[in-house]
Amino acid sequence: MEKIKDSKASQKYHGMKKWLFFVGLFLDLCFLLVLFFSGLTFDIKGIAVGVNPSFFAVNGIYFILISFLMYAIHFPLNYFEGFYW
């Protein structure tokens, strides 16, 4: 049985996807380090407590705010990844 060789376009696409994955991973790490060392996490917690002081609500609101920030960071990479192919 013959081995199927990948086309140049396919190799280029998969190489770009790997590169974008590692860039996204690096951005996640940088974001979490900035969040941790700058004290920004306490500001986000303050916003969540201001909305609703319940423990479970604070955790949910905090999670939603962090998720929104992560989405905003990854949006350009996801857009480029989808547009590239």
Per-residue pLDDT tens digits for 40-68: 999 999 999 999 999 999 999 999 999 99
User: Domain for residue 22, yes or no?
Assistant: no
Domain total for the chain? 1
Determine the pLDDT at residue 62.
Answer: 95
Averaged pLDDT of the chain: 87
User: Domain for residue 9, yes or no?
Assistant: no
Whole-angstrom Cα distance, residue 28 to residue 20? 12
The pTM is what? 0.75
User: Domain for residue 62, yes or no?
Assistant: yes
Whether the predicted pLDDT of 1 surpasses 50: no
User: Domain for residue 51, yes or no?
Assistant: yes
Whether the predicted pLDDT of 17 surpasses 50: yes
User: Domain for residue 57, yes or no?
Assistant: yes
Determine the pLDDT at residue 2.
Answer: 44
Whole-angstrom Cα distance, residue 48 to residue 55? 10
User: Domain for residue 79, yes or no?
Assistant: yes
Domain housing 65:
41-85
* DSSP H/E element including 1: none
